[in-house]
Amino acid sequence: MEFLITKQAWEILNDRPQEVIPYFERQLEDLLSNGMTAEEMGQCTPEQITLTAYLMFRKEMLEGGLVQLIYNGYGPFIFLNPFAKALRQWGLKDFSGFIYDLRRVYEAQRGEIEGRDMSDDDFMALYEAHPEMDGYDDDFVEQEPEISLEIANFVLQNRDKFKIIISLV
């Protein structure tokens, strides 16, 4: 998958790295809403897959936290793939450790949460049944701006790994 971007837009992103994450959220809106198929994944670089995983993780954590992320079925993509390892290779050691911590929580709680058909009331009750997840949710919300900025800077410094093509138009 290639990302075509104008020279002007690329310059704006370089001047305002805090806009990189929202830019890619817009570019990947369908993938983020519908999930990534095996065919789509096969067309991506490892860096694109890691960025997509972060965008999915970020969206779920900011909207509903770890309970929602697990309930909506993103656990295997986030926690059973080398997402945390890739983040560590990108230089995000603390965030990588945070993902490994969440994996332990995920593995312990997934059977009770993941893929269950339940009413809205039962879903909301999951938050009360799992207060241990609140601290992780709060930690991510507090650290998200810094994490997103670190990821944005990695993208900007490694344009070729993300197949970002700058058009002259």
C-alpha–C-alpha distance, residues 93 and 96, integer Å? 5
- Alpha carbon dihedral 38, 32, 68, 147, in 10-degree steps, equals 110
Residue pair 168/140 in contact (Cβ under 8 Å)? The answer is no
C-alpha–C-alpha distance, residues 5 and 18, integer Å? 17
Helix (H) or strand (E) holding 164: strand 164-167
pLDDT of residue 169: 64
pLDDT of 156 above 80: yes
Q: pTM here?
A: 0.90
Of 107-111, 126-130, 164-168, the poorest mean pLDDT is in 164-168
Locus of tokens 């339940």: 118
Q: How many residues does the chain have?
A: 169
Q: Is residue 156 packed enough to be buried (19+ CB in 10 Å), middle (13-18) or exposed (0-12)?
A: middle
Residue pair 168/113 in contact (Cβ under 8 Å)? The answer is no
Structure tokens that stand for 115 in this block: 């893929």
pLDDT of 141 above 70: yes
HSE of 23, CA atoms in CB hemisphere, 13 A: 22
pLDDT of residue 83: 96
Locus of tokens 């909301």: 124
Delineate the domains of the chain, giving CATH numbers in brackets.
12-158 (1.20.1420.60)
Q: For the chain, what is the mean pLDDT? A: 92
pLDDT of 168 above 80: no
